[in-house]
Every structure is written in C-alpha cells, then in structure tokens.
Amino acid sequence: MTTFVLHESVFRTTDLPVSDRFEAWTERMGRTHAPMQLSSDRHADYRGSQRVIALGDVIVWPATFDHLVFRRTPKLIRQSDPESYHLSLLLKGEGAADWGRQQAAYRMNDFHINSSSRSWEVLTGSEPVTVLGVEVPRALVAVPGQRADQVLGSLLSGREGIGALLSQFLRQLVADTSPYQPSDAPRLGTVVADLVTALFAHTVDADLRLPPETRDRTLTLHVKTFIHRRLNDPDLTPAGIAAAHHVSRSYLYRLFQAEGLTVASYIRDQRLENARRELADPRLRDLPIHAVAARWGYPRAAEFTRAFRTAYGLPPSELREQALTEARDVVAPAPPVDAPPSGCGPSANDTPSAPPASW
C-alpha cells in the first residue's frame, strides 16, 4: 500500500566533505529564510542539521547547529526580499539579536521574531543551539504591517497563552509528521499562520483587528488544549468549558460545528482513543482495564464498555487480547531450520505466556 506523507527534506553537513560544509549550510539558510551573511568560529568543520517541512506557503524547520552569526543587510534586502516573518523557538542553547537601536537576548522556550524586510544581526552562543524555525509570508499575518513590525524584538513567551498554543502545535507536528497527508499541508499552514497572527495581535493589543475566522480558530485550539488536559475528569462538560473560556454554550457549540463536530463527541472520541492506545500497549498489560477507563474519564466500567464497543466494534478486553497476540507474534523468533515438525508438544522448559490483565 502506498503511503503519502507531507513533503519534508533533511540536510546534514556531516554528509558532505569537511571543506564544503559551511558554504553548504550558508546556502541552505539562505534558501530557508532569505539570503544572509554567515560567519562562525567553527567554519572549518561546521556541524548542522535541518529538516524542512512544507505546509503550503508556510515553512517549519527544526534545526541544530554550531555557533553562528547571521547578518541580514540593507544590500541583501534590496537584492532579494521574500517579505516574510521568521519565528525561532529556542529549545537549547543561547543567542541574541541586534536591530541597530534595539537588542534582545534569546531565552529558551520563547519565540524570537525577525522580518526579511529588516536588517539585523543574530548570534548564537559558543555551544550548539537547537531551534524550531517558522517562515510565514507577511500577507498571511492578518495584522497591519506597521503594528506587526512592533513585535520585532518583543519577548513572546512560548510557555503560556497563545505562544504556548503555537509552541505545542509546532512541537507535536515536528515530532511525528507520519499521520498527515500532502492534502493536509495547506490546512496545517493555515493553523500556523492563524496562531502567529493571534500571537502578534495579542502582543501589540490589536485583537479587534483580527478577522473573525482567525479568532474562532484560535479559540477552538485553546478549547481543545483545555479539554486534553482534563480528559480524566468525568465532570468535564460543555457548560464548564464555556464558562472557563468566557463564552456562551451556544458559541462553543458553533466553534465545533464549524469542524463538523460536537463538543460531547470530541471529548468522547479523545477519551476512547487514548484508552484504546493504552489497551493496545503491551507495556501496560498489567494495568487493569477499569483503571485505564478511569484514567480517561470513565469511572463506571459498564459505561466505558458500551462506549468502547460502539466506537470500535468489540469490547476493550478483546481489543487488548488481540493487540497482545499481535505483539507476541511480532517478537516471536523464527524457528531454526532443523526445528521439529509442527504438532510436537512443548518442552519442559517452555512457559506459557501470561494472560492479559482483566477487569
């Protein structure tokens, strides 16, 4: 069966001769964001790796690289300007930026913003850094240009509020792109652009200028994050969710209807999928089924069994047994060439497999 996944490219300087590595890295960075002057005290044997994930017009690129100084000069801007915003989420290491009259120190787990239309200098620390970069066309950021440019140099937290939503989304995306198809790429790019817009608008206090659809999609992501953190609460209800986000229940219902969902069905599906994943995990075979159910908001065993059977067509105990059987078949060693014919009984040293945990 053919599997179609997001378009993704990987680049490693260690795949090249030592003498070509720094020049190749400079070219790679220039194509990813915009042409820059790069220098490094490690240029003689430069180490850098980058993945580039294309989401329509939005580009996401996790990377790890040695000490580097980036310079975007007025001359380079005149020669080539893709008119894009660049966001870096610093995951490891240190750095700083200089825009002439404004300087900023980079902090881990915060977003740092540049524009291809502005001149700047960015330098990293002496140790390798790990970043999660994002390139978003200015046209996709629905905040007026002069207001959006005020974000340059601002400290945008990736640990709380809208910044945390953007950080979580990007981290989950780059951790595993296999669930997504090429047709998902533009939609994922729209989510990233909407979150960047919301983050910029929040930073410059321009929320009233946000298009209604951007506000709604951002709020929906807030709500889904809220739900995921509370799936183990059996009292999680639409009324409580609406109150926590200061909206009416009817408005909350409309947010989910726009995605062809109901609030209750989304909560149920997320709970059951998490429970199914744990029941199918051989490492959790000793965790009783009722404990799995309770972990995901089903304190009553009978209610969990009914909902699970409706969703997956078989009871949770049977799904667990099937998963454990498949896992044993995968790890079972092939019989030797001179093995006895089938039908011979087990030896005295053979021990039966442990039965799966029951309710």
DSSP 109-132: TEEEEEETTS-EEEEE-SS-EEEE
Provide CB contacts within 8 A for 148, sequence distance 6+.
85, 138, 141, 200, 204
Q: Which of the two residues, 288 and 42, has the higher pLDDT score?
A: 288
Q: Which amino acid is at 284?
A: L
Q: For residue 36, what are its two tokens?
A: 């820059």
Rounded average pLDDT over 324-341? 59
* Separation of alpha carbons 226 and 58, rounded Å: 26
Question: pTM higher than 0.75 for the full model?
Answer: no
* Separation of alpha carbons 143 and 149, rounded Å: 9
Q: Which of the two residues, 345 and 31, has the higher pLDDT score?
A: 31
Q: What is the pLDDT of residue 275?
A: 93
Helix, strand, or coil (residue 200): helix
Q: Which CA distances in Å does 18 have to 12, 68, 188, 290?
A: 12, 17, 37, 58
* Separation of alpha carbons 134 and 354, rounded Å: 49
Going by the DSSP 8-state scheme, the letter that residue 33 receives in this structure is: T
Report whether pLDDT(347) > 60: no
Q: Classify each residue of 21-47 as buried b or exposed e, where b means 16 or more C-beta atoms within 10 Å of its C-beta.
A: bbebbbebbeebbbbbebebebbeebe
> Contact 148/209 with Cβ under 8 angstroms?
no
Q: What is the pLDDT of residue 345?
A: 40
Residue 204, classified by CB atoms within 10 Å of its CB into exposed (0-12), middle (13-18) or buried (19+), is middle
Report whether pLDDT(138) > 70: yes
User: What residues form DSSP beta bridges with 307?
Assistant: none
Most confident region among 4-8, 187-191, 225-229 by mean pLDDT: 187-191
Neighbouring CB atoms inside 10 A of 86's CB total 22
Q: What phi and psi, each to the nearest 5 degrees, are found at residue 123? A: -130, 145
Rounded average pLDDT over 211-216? 71
Q: Which of the two residues, 332 and 324, has the higher pLDDT score?
A: 324
Q: Which of the two residues, 153 and 230, has the higher pLDDT score?
A: 230
Please provide the average confidence, as pLDDT, over all residues in the chain.
Answer: 84
Rounded average pLDDT over 290-315? 93
Band of the pLDDT at 104, cuts 50, 70, 90? confident
Band of the pLDDT at 169, cuts 50, 70, 90? very high
Lowest model confidence (mean pLDDT) among 60-74, 164-178, 212-226, 282-296: 212-226
Report whether pLDDT(209) > 70: no
Provide CB contacts within 8 A for 204, sequence distance 6+.
143, 147, 148, 150, 151
CA nearest neighbour of 195 among 120, 142, 125, 148: 142
Q: How far is CA 171 from the centre of its chain?
A: 3
Report whether pLDDT(175) > 90: yes
Report whether pLDDT(358) > 70: no
